Amino acid sequence: MAIQLEKALMDYPQQRAGAARYPQGVDQSDRRVPINLRQSGPTPVEMLISTRVRKSPYWHLAVEAGCWRATVYNRMYHPRGYVRPEDGGAMVEYESLVHDVTLWNVAVERQIQVKGPDAERFVNYVITRDATKIKPMRGKYVILCNEEGGIINDPVLLRVAQDEFWFSLSDSDLELWMRGVNLGMGYDVTIAEIDVAPVQIQGPKSEALMVDLFGQEAAEIPYYGLMAGQVAGHDVIVSQTGFTGEKGYEIYLKDATLHAEDLWYTVLKAGEKHNLRVIAPAHHRRIAAGILSWGQDVDQETLPFQCNLAYQVPRNKEADYIGKQALERVREQLDAGNPPFRQIMVGLRFGGSPVTDYANDFWLISAEGQDEPIGYVTSPWYSPELETNIALGYVPFEYREVGTPLTVHLPPEYAAADGSTDVSADVVNVPFRPSVNPNARERARAKGIDFAD
């Protein structure tokens, strides 16, 4: 093992040279824990597969479908690749997403149930949006903030009954936090993870596949609408949601540890005539749609006003919620032209070779013609439709305007044709292209409405 590791390190000299400290040039003095900006490149170690990280009910089925790599998300193994690089990799998976239909194992979206007479009151206290406006069998994309206004999770919230909500989690442990909140508040609710595991059905042929599985009623589900149904005789909840901006659905299987194989194989069989492919979550498409990834684009020290989520903080919600006072103070400062934060998220278009795989570090951003880093890229990828690299990233507030020229410092594998790793970039609007299912921010922009209203 030691010999293998030594050889791996020899194969990655930039690993040894660049694994020192994150650059001090990016001002992060407004954070308690600075973003780790080491330009360390690949990490040549083998991930340990052990019992302390959970395997989802679909894990063995993903492996059977060709999964060759995974990450850890919500303390579960999460498939992140089925087509190997030598066969085209993630870009081949992308083609299936934008032309046909795809199946994703997203059981890592753990389902936390809040149930009881005070379920609506409790949920309204922990989310920034107004839970009273979410009717049974409807859902919403929501955020939960700490007392300082930092985002601690951005789940899809499903209201499956008058007295029952499911939080479909992004990558942070919300159950323990919500239990702690309720110890002090004493709402009459139960809070617990339940044996429900979702899969996503995404792509332009997703509606046709869902009609084959559930009948014509599936075609009538509105965006963020829910429907109860069965697959292979097992109860599910279906939502018209997804991580792409494409037309898509999620199927939440109840008692998933018992029935995962029945659902998976039934969907595969029904998908044959639609050219279904099992793929990993398509981050290239979610970036184009402006969909954020918690832990990558935002964390508990990120305010909604920093990352295009101002619309999640309504001006007219009368009920109190965690973080309300802090967020209202921030809005007042922004309205007065005095932002209380240094960095703000922008969309970027940049040069270099096509970025066709996950970035393993936060790439640095400088002002045009300068070397001193002022910001960093969080989520880069190549967009086939736009024929350019695109990214989400953070820059100082004064660099936020569309058209602002910048420089992105790339790792050697994505150097430009002339060998340069310092490539031109400019700030662009987010989303980068229209979505099939536009979110609230896109709809507001189309109507000329302030995102924060």
What is the tens place of the pLDDT at every residue in 65-120? Answer: 999 999 999 999 999 999 999 999 999 999 999 999 999 999 999 999 999 999 99
Window from 44-48, 60-64, 282-286, 447-451 with minimum mean pLDDT = 447-451
Segment 360-382 shows an average pLDDT of: 94
Per-residue confidence (pLDDT) for residue 48, from 0 to 100: 81
Q: Whole-angstrom Cα distance, residue 179 to residue 185?
A: 10
Closest CA to 169 of 207, 197, 147: 197
Cβ distance 189 to 115 under 8 Å? yes
pLDDT tops 90 at residue 447: no
pLDDT at residue 313 is higher than 80: yes
167, β-bridge pairs: 112, 157
pLDDT tops 80 at residue 231: yes
3-state SS, residue 133: helix
Tell which wins on pLDDT, 187 or 46. Answer: 187
pLDDT of res. 206? 97
Contact of 269 with 219, CB cutoff 8 Å: no
- 3-state SS, residue 337: coil
- Specify if 227 maps to a domain: yes
Query: Is residue 163 within 8 Å of 285, Cβ to Cβ?
Result: no
Give the model's confidence band at 439: pLDDT under 50 very low, under 70 low, under 90 confident, else very high. Answer: low
Which H or E element spans position 252? strand 248-254
d(CA 282, CA 93): 8
Helices (DSSP H) in 164-255: which residue ranges? Answer: 174-185, 206-214
Model confidence at 64, pLDDT cuts 50, 70, 90, reads very high
306 neighbors 345 (Cβ within 8 angstroms): yes
Return the pLDDT at 437: 58
**Quick one: which of 287, 327, 320, 321 has its CA closest to 305?**
327
* pTM exceeding 0.85: yes
Identify which of 367, 380, 362 has the alpha carbon closest to the alpha carbon of residue 426. 367
Q: Are strands 277-278 and 102-105 parallel, antiparallel or unpaired?
A: parallel
394 band by pLDDT with thresholds 50, 70 and 90: very high
- In this prediction, residues 292-305 reach a mean pLDDT of 97
User: What's the distance, CA 386 to chain centroid?
Assistant: 21
pLDDT digits (tens, 9 = 90+) for 314-355: 999 999 999 999 999 999 999 999 999 999 999 999 999 999
**Within a domain: residue 256?**
yes
Question: Is the separation of the CB atoms in 402 and 428 below 8 Å?
Answer: yes
How many Å apart are CA 93 and CA 82, to the nearest integer?
8
Task: Please say if the pLDDT value at position 303 is more than 80.
Answer: yes
Q: Work out the number of other CB atoms within 10 angstroms of the CB of residue 370.
A: 12
Phi, psi of 449, rounded to the nearest 5 degrees: -95, 145
Number of Cβ atoms within 10 Å of the Cβ of 179 = 13
Q: Of 8-12, 99-103, 218-222, 309-313, which range is least confident?
A: 8-12
- CB contact at 8 A, 254 and 234: yes
In a domain, residue 316? The reply is: no
- Please indicate, yes or no, if residue 92 is contained in any of the structural domains: no
Instruction: Specify the amino acid at residue 91.
Output: M
- Eight-state DSSP code of residue 29: T
State the pLDDT at residue 159: 98
Counted domains in the chain:
1
pLDDT digits (tens, 9 = 90+) for 426-435: 999 999 987 6
> What span, in angstroms and rounded, lies between the C-alpha atoms of 273 and 156?
30
56 domain residue, yes or no: no
Classify residue 262: in a domain, yes or no: yes
Sign of the four-CA dihedral 283, 246, 112, 174? positive
For residue 218, the domain's CATH number is 3.30.1360.120
| Residue 259 domain flag | yes
Interval 16-47: pLDDT, tens: 444 445 566 788 888 999 888 865 566 777 87
Measured distance CA(437)–CA(200) in Å, rounded: 15
Which pLDDT score is estimated for 442?
57
More confidently predicted of 253 and 434: 253
Residue 70 belongs to a domain: no
Instruction: Compute the mean pLDDT over every residue in the chain, rounded to the nearest whole number.
Output: 91
pLDDT of residue 446: 60
pLDDT at 36: 85
Share of residues in the chain with pLDDT > 90 (%): 83
Query: In terms of residue numbers, what domain contains 261?
Result: 196-275
DSSP bridge pairs for 193: 112
CA 332-335-336 angle, 5° bins? 90
